Amino acid sequence: MRGERIEMLAARLFGKEDLRVVETAVPEINTDEMLVKVKAGTVCGTDLRMFKNGADGVDISHPLTLCHEFAGIVERKGAEVKYLEEGDRVSVAPNIGCGVCDRCVSGNSHHCKHLKALGVQIDGGFAEFVKIPAEAVVHGNVIPLSDSVSYEEAAANEAFACVYSAFERYGVRPGETVVVIGAGAIGLMHAKLALMSGAGKVIMNDLSRPRLDECAAIEPRITAVSGNLAEYVRDSTGGEGADVVITACSVAAVQQGAFALAGFDGRVCFFGGLPKGRETVPLDTNQIHYRQLTVIGTTRSSHGHYRATLDLIAKGVVDIAPVITHKFELKNTLGAFENAAGAIGLKQAVVFG
């Protein structure tokens, strides 16, 4: 290997609330694998959940390197790898399906029953180097990066792709009124896609006024509403209700209130899942029935979504760079997690020199 490095730093989870930056071996690769030198990784709600609750199979003797949102440079590729060259800038999609089941073959490998993901079941991007397994190499997880896309944007693209997966389902037509509840990185990405599609009005709501203000400062076309949302939506739509309502947070009461905000033939997207043990929510389903609402749930993103959003960033159609509000060095990864846990800023990035 160039540089002959045998040890590297990695932020590894050793158990519940036990994340340490430690020295570990640089992964060895086989002839059908790749080694990526990480340049940026971003913190996602999934990382935070794994940090707070611990993760299956992860303990003091089985640590896991977190981060499924990352980008970097091809450091080395095995002799059998037929695409990309050493030194190429790349973004890495984390989800690895089996490749042969019906879901995988239909382009939904992110819902494969045998799904494993970099940074979730196998070592991910909060490390100087990441091994890309053979299946990921042949499934096209490693994607060449346009010069116009930064490593941080390419990392955050994973979250953007998940948002895009939902966006494809709820759709936004020109002139429509869209309500996004949750003023975080995810909410802002929904808002940006709605505006891209010509939404007439994008209303954003959050309990935290500073977070709302932060989103509205980044995207001034957002109407930030911190008071009575139902009243605002009613008044601003002539009593009709919104065309699209998106819950971009993990709060049961938000899901409960979402139907009432939607107008006739409206679409309601439950983007944020609820914490385990609190997922049963009383809902007024007559609102779905009498107003012909469509309720949409989505999770994760396909390789197709991942590439589509990278393309939107590369072409300058959607600017997600401002969503990354804080940057940390790898040795301060815990600081990124503390920020994320404290809802400070929007998206936290770990960047490598």
Residues that bind Zn ion (CB under 5 A): 44, 69, 97-98, 101, 104, 112, 158-159
Smallest distance, Zn ion to C-beta of residue 345, A:
16
Q: Which is nearer to Zn ion, 234 or 327 (CB)?
A: 327
Smallest distance, Zn ion to C-beta of residue 343, A:
16
Smallest distance, Zn ion to C-beta of residue 159, A:
5
Q: Which is nearer to Zn ion, 98 or 318 (CB)?
A: 98
Helices first, then strands: H and E counts in the chain: 11, 18
Q: Which is nearer to Zn ion, 152 or 158 (CB)?
A: 158
DSSP label at 242?
Answer: E
Smallest distance, Zn ion to C-beta of residue 177, A:
28
Q: Which is nearer to Zn ion, 164 or 259 (CB)?
A: 164
CA separation for the pair 71, 350 (Å, rounded): 11
Smallest distance, Zn ion to C-beta of residue 119, A:
9
Q: Which is nearer to Zn ion, 186 or 199 (CB)?
A: 186
- Which residues partner with 302 through β-bridges? none
Smallest distance, Zn ion to C-beta of residue 46, A:
5
Smallest distance, Zn ion to C-beta of residue 38, A:
15
DSSP label at 275?
Answer: P
Handedness of CA 302, 307, 308, 310 (dihedral sign): positive
CA separation for the pair 306, 73 (Å, rounded): 18
Query: Would you mind telling me the total number of residues written for the chain in this entry?
Result: 353
Residue 158, CB half-sphere, CA atoms under 13 Å: how many? 32
CA separation for the pair 244, 113 (Å, rounded): 31
CA separation for the pair 84, 89 (Å, rounded): 9
Q: Which is nearer to Zn ion, 112 or 204 (CB)?
A: 112
What is the C-alpha R_g of the chain?
21
Q: Which is nearer to Zn ion, 26 or 90 (CB)?
A: 90
CA separation for the pair 4, 51 (Å, rounded): 32
Q: Which is nearer to Zn ion, 246 or 262 (CB)?
A: 246
Residue at token pair 């002139």:
175
Q: Which two tokens stand for residue 17?
A: 């609330």
Smallest distance, Zn ion to C-beta of residue 234, A:
34
> What's the burial of 342, exposed, middle or buried (CB within 10 Å: 0-12/13-18/19+)?
exposed
- Which residues partner with 131 through β-bridges? 35
CA–CA–CA angle 278, 156, 109 (5° rounding)? 70
